[in-house]
A = this chain, B = another copy of it.
């Protein structure tokens, strides 16, 4: 067994056939064992031996050229903004797909969208594509369908008009958070709306929070705030000067919940007695701080396997029926802070 050089030419099934003293077709039959084909035990063994000897791996490009598509589920992912939230989702999706002999491929590019992006994705001839909803615009779906992609899914905050969408509706997040606080008896509420790269998240959560407050006839004030500690401290100082400050705050996300709790204690207020605080995202540290942080969780893990089911169904049976609407229902994980 000679030492291979990097960049060498890969061994082909012809090499294996030659070494095993059989035809190339036989090699293919041994490796794929299609229904209704018999190969004698000793031939099979000779082939497998040659495979191992050469370190042969069938060329995925060639197979998918031949078969028309691959075993790839493509997940174009902008890693930047959604990192923590999507991790469990991807994790579960991966495992579920692996169980079906499919492999998840995460294509990490953040730049392209629309038809251009679709052409890039289509070039890989994947079985399925699960893309962010707002990147599937301007004919992107058509390009993918034309390219033979069997299942097209969207995920994100907006439902896609033509494609089943896994909806992370952040209005719901705001809604359940505020409803929880109202159920706890609070009547004067505040909602932090963070600026910065994830501002859109804050806006949506605010919208849901506002709706919930209106429904219940409870006062809710909007507080815009930058992603720095001093802003949060200023807000608390302001509240301290008021005669009727809020008694509970939905912080918009866990980072801000952490900040505002720190700020409150810095100013001598206690949580949750003087002020209840609810975060969102259910990050790991929610369980690790004093007081433990009540937060809104999207059980994205469950959703991962759900998405996998949908994908495999669409791939196997070929009735492609848009309109399935998977909504992630957020729920409040009640801890000590509110």
Q: Which residues does A use to contact B, with CB under 8 Å?
A: 3-11, 54-55, 57-62, 64-65, 68, 70, 77, 79-80, 83-84, 87, 90-91, 94-95, 98, 103-111, 115, 119-120, 122-125, 139, 142-143, 145-152, 227-229, 255, 258-259, 262-263, 265-266, 284-285, 287-290, 292, 318, 320
Contact = CB atoms under 8 A, between A and B. Distances in A.
A164 to B, nearest CB: 11
Of A4, A68, A142, which is in contact with the most chain B CB atoms at under 10 Å from its CB? A4
A257 B123 CA distance: 47
Nearest to A74: B105
A108 B83 contact: no
B10 A150 contact: no
Contacts of A106: 77, 105-108
Contacts of A320: 5-7
Given A90-B79, A108-B94, A258 B288 contact: yes
B79 A108 contact: no
A54 B4 contact: no
Nearest to A106: B106
Contact of A125 (B4, B59, B119, B229): B59
A9 B123 CA distance: 13
Given A7-B149, A91-B108, 7 more contacts: A5-B320, A6-B320, A8-B148, A55-B142, A61-B65, A79-B90, A83-B84
Of A65, A91, A124, A288, which is in contact with the most chain B CB atoms at under 10 Å from its CB? A288
A107 B103 CA distance: 8
Contacts of A115: 55
A9 to B, nearest CB: 6
Nearest to A126: B60
B122 A10 contact: yes
A229 B292 contact: yes
Given A104-B108, A123-B58, A285-B285, A318 B7 contact: yes
Contact of A255 (B8, B263, B284): B284
B229 A146 contact: no
Given A6-B320, A290-B266, A103 B109 contact: yes
A229 B291 CA distance: 10
A327 to B, nearest CB: 23
Contacts of A3: 142
9 contacts: A11-B146, A55-B119, A55-B139, A55-B147, A57-B147, A83-B87, A94-B110, A98-B109, A104-B108
A287 B258 CA distance: 11
A55 B94 contact: no
Contacts of A146: 4, 8, 10-11, 54-55
A153 to B, nearest CB: 11
A289 B258 contact: yes
Given A79-B90, A290-B263, A145 B64 contact: no
A74 to B, nearest CB: 9
Contacts of A60: 61, 123-125
A55 B143 contact: yes
B109 A57 contact: no
A62 B59 contact: no
